Amino acid sequence: MKDLPARRLLLVHAHPDDESINNGATMARYAAEGAHVTLVTCTLGEEGEVIPPALAHLAADRDDALGPHRVGELAAAMKELGVTDHRFLGGAGRFRDSGMLGTEQNERPGAFWATPVDEAAGPLVEIVREVRPQVLVTYDPDGGYGHPDHIQAHRVAMRAAELAADPAYGTDAPHTIAKVYWNRVERSVVEAAFDRLRTTAPDTFPGIAAVTDVPGVVDGDGITAEIDGTAYAGAKAAAMRAHATQIVVEGEGEGKGAGAFFALSNGLGQPLLTTEYYQLVRGVPGAAGGAREDDLFAGLPGVGLGAEAVRESEPGSGSTSGPGSASYADPGAGHGSGSEAGA
Ligand SMILES: [Zn+2]
């Protein structure tokens, strides 16, 4: 891929739908601005529950045909976000959804959770070295909420970033990802959104979820970047709606996604957030004085708006001494890398 845009963003997710819920507005924004957005989804989400009764037969305990169906849902969602480069880790179906923690599916042969981290990281290293992203987005060490595939996606993404930068690993030119972010949600923001939802929830929701049901919630000081995706609220809502077996979206204001709510298979309403939050855990912050970044590429050389025509310098020329390799930020107490070892 020789003619990649100057700005390149890679997102690693566990199942189809996670990308739209967590990063839909961010992905739509960068795609619209001309950045190259690459989504890698680690499983087909075969173990997901199915919301529409007419499709209930697809479930793993019936026809076990949900995976291929969700491939189509993901493709439709990416169309809504304007993202053309979306791939499954190792190819569609290579790693199977591991189910919720403690189920027998966790240890099934081929389950993502049962795969050694380095084995699953291999195909991701290939993608990193091909696309050469400056920015990686994935989950925190808990996977945001403890789902085995989300925890494993975190481990595999972090390990692939490390291996891709290692000249001793493989034969392709190494690449150092300058900035790595974990998905976050700001506690005060989501609390206020739930308050609003309690007064306006559609009758179709049997109840309202709790803040503890939202992955990645932290206090404001755990957040270093805030992406205002208001202009892409409609695209995010449409992408989430494309995952029709998994998500119901309601309450949109004038079709633009503003004020929308959604529910997963438990039917409990949650606010659809169009400002998306991140914590920089590797790399140099691009905002002065500890202020929040409003751009995940902030501070990177040669990637400002309008820089999309600029090509990257020769592969490998800065890969071991480039931005980020020398001065990785401390991710902070409680979110450190100490819990990342092992599987
Ligand atoms: Zn998921």
Per-run averaged pLDDT (10 residues), the chain, 343 residues: 86 98 98 98 98 97 97 98 98 97 92 98 98 98 94 98 98 97 97 89 82 94 95 95 96 61 93 96 93 97 59 42 40 39 35
Distance 19 CA to ligand 1 centre (A): 9
pLDDT computed for residue 305 by the predictor: 52
CA distances from 290 to 138, 154, 218, 221, 329 (A): 22, 25, 17, 10, 12
- For residue 121, give both structure tokens: 């990281």
147 in a known ligand binding site: no
Looking at the chain, the whole-number percentage of residues with pLDDT higher than 90 is 78
Look at the block and give the residue holding tokens 């409609």. 234
Give pLDDT tens digits for 13-34.
999 999 999 999 999 999 999 9
CA of 45 to the centre of ligand 1 (A): 7
Token pair listed for 231: 């202009």
Q: How far apart are CA 190 and CA 91, in angstroms?
A: 35
| pLDDT number for residue 326 | 36
Please give the distance, rounded to the nearest whole angstrom, from the Cα atom of residue 70 to the centre of ligand 1. 12
- β-strands 85-88, 36-41 pairing: parallel
Q: Ligand 1 centre from 281 Cα, in Å?
A: 21
Residue 162: count of CB within 10 angstroms of its CB: 15
**Residue 191 Cα to ligand 1 middle (Å):** 22
Looking at residue 208, its pLDDT comes to: 93
Distance 319 CA to ligand 1 centre (A): 32
Q: Output the pLDDT for position 256.
A: 54
The whole-angstrom distance between residue 114's C-alpha and the CA centroid of its chain comes to 21
Residue 22, H or E segment: helix 18-32
List C-alpha distances in Å: 215 to 91, 130, 156, 234: 27, 30, 19, 22
Find out whether 154 is annotated in a ligand binding site: no
Annotated binding residue at 150?
yes
Q: What is the DSSP letter of 293?
A: B
Q: What is the pLDDT of residues 34-88, one digit of tens each?
A: 999 999 999 999 999 999 999 999 999 999 999 999 999 999 999 999 999 999 9
Cα(43) to ligand 1 centroid in Å equals: 9
**pTM (2 decimals)?**
0.88
What gap in Å lies between CA 48 and CA 264, rounded to an integer? 10
